[in-house]
Amino acid sequence: MTALEILGSVNVDAVLRVRELPRAGETVHALTFDRFLGGKGANQAVSAARSGAELRFHACIGGDEDGEWLMSQLQAHTVPVSNIEPVPGASSGRAYVCVDQHGENLIVVDAGANARLDLTVGTLEPSKVALAQLETPIPSTVEFFTKYRDFGAITVLNAAPAIAEARDVLFPLTDILILNESEMAFYAGIESLPEDVEDITTLARALLAHREQVIVLTCGAAGALAITWNGLDFTPARLTKVRDTTGSGDCFCGALCARLAEGDELDQAIRFASVAASLSVERDGAASAMPTREAIELAMFEMTAAEMPG
């Protein structure tokens, strides 16, 4: 039995580094341009693989040169490719990413072949953990989670990018729901989250689809909250020097699921994932910035008592 199944997107990330992100109607000049492996599914698969997980990755790429390049990049990042389907006549997914001098980003995604992902349920096999996001068709993700709940797996949804339909059809199938602050605000129907933790907790509990569900709210440099019907746990973030936040949330998701697949309790997995994400923002790119298990464990060992989560 494979420990972790991931369903998700694969993109070419076209990354332009700029001094400041453009405002509406504004043109800015790029300082550099790079091409990286990306897509939330691919990023999370790379993060999980580098965190030591045995996994299968279900995805689609285009029948083009970008698709060939993406396949080679996944293999180079030790992600199994046997469940990745080329789609003849379709272009591969692309993401156009602007990153400013503070490490903040602005992203526009062209789904390409990712929109054609049609899951063949009969080919799925039992697993401990199933992870998905929202850059591929929701009906395929519903089938994916339905099957893995039948297998008794832990289902983990990174409900990003935020899509209203997911709340009705996917939240009820999810054991662990991972959101950042803007995504939580979207699903709660407000512009931004309040600063008070009690108010945030109340909003989160209104999103819970069943009593066993956990919402993990990632708050960047402030850390992460794990919220249940009657509980709240806080994991502070490791101190870091931010260079590029692209893919840091994906790093968190992949690393967390890797640890859950190895049998960690959720609080242990969150601590590991938080440190992994803090390392990823110190490097350029998304998949290319995912740290290894050895690097994460070394960073955890070297953390001072003041920095240590928990």
Is 34 an annotated catalytic residue?
A: no
Rounded to whole angstroms, the Cα distance separating 47 from 164 reads 27
DSSP state of 39: -
Query: Cβ distance 254 to 43 under 8 Å?
Result: yes
Query: Cβ distance 11 to 93 under 8 Å?
Result: yes
Distance from chain centroid for Cα 17: 22
SS3 293: helix
The residue type found at 90 is A
Query: Cβ distance 161 to 187 under 8 Å?
Result: no
Rounded to whole angstroms, the Cα distance separating 279 from 301 reads 14
Rounded to whole angstroms, the Cα distance separating 57 from 115 reads 16
Q: Active site residue: 64, 66, 175, 250, which one?
A: 250
DSSP state of 1: -
Rounded to whole angstroms, the Cα distance separating 173 from 89 reads 33
114, 88, 130: which is closest to 10 by C-alpha? 114
Rounded to whole angstroms, the Cα distance separating 183 from 173 reads 18
Residue matched to tokens 């994400």 = 277
Pair type for strands 93-99 and 11-17: parallel
Number of C-alpha atoms within 13 angstroms, CB side, residue 66?
23
The CA-based dihedral angle spanning residues 118, 124, 126, 128, taken in that order and rounded to the nearest 10 degrees = -30
Rounded to whole angstroms, the Cα distance separating 132 from 158 reads 6
- What residues are annotated to the active site? 250
